[in-house]
Copies of this chain bind each other. A is one copy, B any other.
């Protein structure tokens, strides 16, 4: 047991020594230091009931960061980032999937995206006729939160 513990401690120290500097680099590249290696990307997405973001109370709000790795409170950050990269950050390019059937009930939801995508400011708003329609856009990524 004692040997195992000593071995585990050594492994832990080695891991710290190896990964420590890497973590430091990753943080510097995150856009937090003055020497960021790439343009920042950080977004807030909100969802509210209604057809106007100025009037709708934001019911849900999530953050999404796509560099250096996918992170944030977005429930499927990986997929959302992949989707955003695929469309070059152009939210209007997200199209509805043809395999999803939604009813025609009009209960509008409004989605907003604010922040920065690859160094450019984003201020986007889009209204969907109901939540099913919203979720049918893209492949369960960006707007599914």
Contacts and interface: CB of A to CB of B under 8 A. Distances in A.
Interface of A: 1, 4, 27, 30-32, 36, 40-44, 46, 53, 57-65, 71-75, 114-116, 119-121, 123, 145
Nearest to A74: B32
Nearest to A30: B73
Contacts of A75: 27, 32
A7 to B, nearest CB: 10
A62 B30 CA distance: 8
Contact of A32 (B4, B36, B53, B145): B145
Contacts of A116: 44, 46, 58, 61
A72 to B, nearest CB: 6
A31 B62 CA distance: 7
List the 3 closest pairs (A to B, CB-CB), nearest first: A44-B115, A40-B61, A63-B63
A10 to B, nearest CB: 15
A41 B62 CA distance: 8
A74 B32 CA distance: 7
A61 B31 contact: yes
